[in-house]
Amino acid sequence: NPLRLNDGRYTMDFADLETKAADPANKMLILCHPHNPVGRVWTAAEIQQLGDICRRHDLILVTDEIHGELCYSWADYRPVSALAPELNDRLVVCTGPSKAFNLPGLRISLAIIPSTALRERFTVGLRDLNELFGFNRLGMLALQAAYEDGGPWLDALRAYLEANYLYLRDFLERELPQIRLTPAEGLYLAWLDCRPLGLSDAVLQQLLTDNARVVLEPGTHYGPEGSGFVRLNLACPRALLAQALARIRRALA
């Protein structure tokens, strides 16, 4: 279900979702909130409309909210369970500390399932997975420490990431107006529209890697709709970001 892009803003294609949800072979809908890679934080109205589709077609709604702690100050991020509590009987929320607290190596995550019946079904499947992977005691302790004591650190991180985003926005407007920054509400990743450059994806990547010596993720990794886009990681020292942008500017001059 590709997103729709209108005037630089992404929205859901609800008509297409409705059609696909009506297929009896489909039992589950997966939502990314905030959305990776475009950075959208879905509104209450959008979540309500999505929830109506799930209820009409009896779909389980699985939400990936792992970037939920990494939203900008101008965003109104709230978990789906808060935006539409009437969906709790069919909701599975997937999250964890690996993004906000940089703990992916500890391989720990959360599944929050309000419905007892749905949680029991999930637990049965989890037992089978546990036989293969086991549980990570160190990861559990790190998760607890992050959520109980990591608030001040996370506040400082969010402020730094937001300043990086604004630095990128101002640089592109001033130095590289042919690259458009997709307005974001969350993530530490920037979705850059390079289509005005008129370059193929292959040529664009060659210029970035060989000339600028900067590796950005091709938008085509997210499907054909990502052609002409690249994804830039803002979770770095500002001096490094400035250096990368200066290299890109010289390579495209």
So where are the chain's domains? 4-149, 152-252
8 Å CB contact between 77 and 42:
no
pLDDT digits (tens, 9 = 90+) for 182-220: 999 999 999 999 999 999 999 999 999 999 999 999 999
For residue 31, is pLDDT > 70? Answer: yes
Query: In sequence order, what are the residues at sequence separation of 6 or more whose Cβ sits closer than 8 angstroms to the Cβ of residue 110?
Result: 93, 94, 95, 96, 143
For residue 121, is pLDDT > 60? Answer: yes
Which residue type does 179 have?
I
Tokens of 211: 């000339």
8 Å CB contact between 234 and 241:
yes
For residue 124, is pLDDT > 90? Answer: no
Predicted model pTM = 0.93
pLDDT digits (tens, 9 = 90+) for 93-116: 999 999 999 999 998 999 999 999
* CATH topology (fold) of 4-149: Aspartate Aminotransferase; domain 2 (3.40.640)
User: Which of 139, 35, 134, 38 shows the shortest CA–CA distance to 96?
Assistant: 139
| Res 123: pLDDT | 87
Query: In sequence order, what are the residues at sequence separation of 6 or more whose Cβ sits closer than 8 angstroms to the Cβ of residue 95?
Result: 64, 65, 66, 68, 109, 110, 112
For residue 130, is pLDDT > 70? Answer: no
Read off the pLDDT band of 132 (50, 70, 90).
low
CATH architecture group of domain 152-252: Alpha-Beta Complex (3.90)
For residue 133, is pLDDT > 70? Answer: no
DSSP 184: -
Tokens of 173: 């407007």
Q: Do domains 4-149 and 152-252 have the same CATH topology?
A: no
> Average pLDDT, stretch 147-159?
98
For residue 127, is pLDDT > 80? Answer: no
